[in-house]
Structures are given as C-alpha cells and as structure tokens.
Amino acid sequence: MPVNDARARCSGQEYELLLIAAELVVVAQYGSTRMLARKLRIPLAGAELFMDELERRGVVGPSTGAKARDVLVNPASLHDLLAGLRQRAAA
C-alpha cells in the first residue's frame, strides 16, 4: 500500500502515533499488539490497526495468532526507517 494512501486514512495525530508505534516495536524488537495498546494508551483494536499498517510497511511480519509478530527492522536501521516514512508522507 502506498504511504500516501495510509496517510489519507489517518489524521495527523494518528500518523504520528504510527511513527511512535514503529519506534516502540523496533527498539523493543517485540511486535506485540498488547504492548502497543499499553504504551500508546489506545484500545486494542486501534493497536491492531497500527500493527497491520506496520506489516504493510515491512516493519513486522504477519500475525501468528496470539504470539508477538516478528520484527523485520533492526534497531540500527530505525533512523532510516522513520526518516523514510516521514519523507514519503510529506510527498
């Protein structure tokens, strides 16, 4: 899914939360929907939507039921990931 499509679906605040979610998942190397819900103080359903979006962007692997998702981006690449997401969103 193109970044601009996701940006159109998200408000500015939601998009910023998506970036924070990406940072949390990559730094922790733990792709848990429940962790996102707790850390971002959002409902579990919202965290699931963010996790699905992170999957589309190649940050996490697919859902495997109740288990945490595999994180596909290493912490050393976090800065480049966030810069790329912000740059593409501004386009």
Task: For residue 10, give the CATH number of its domain.
Answer: 1.10.10.10
The pLDDT of residue 12: 77
34 CB-near residues (< 8 Å, 6+ apart): 44, 47
> Which residues have CB under 8 Å from 67's CB, separation 6+?
none
- Tell me: pLDDT of 58 over 50: yes
Our count of domains for the chain comes to 1
Domain residues for 79?
3-90
Q: Would you list the DSSP string of 18-67?
A: HHHHHHHHHHHT-B-HHHHHHHHT--HHHHHHHHHHHHHTTSB---BTTB
Residues 69, 60: Cα–Cα separation, whole Å: 6
Average pLDDT over the chain, rounded to an integer: 87
What is the pTM assigned to this prediction? Answer: 0.82
pLDDT band at residue 2, thresholds of 50, 70 and 90? very low
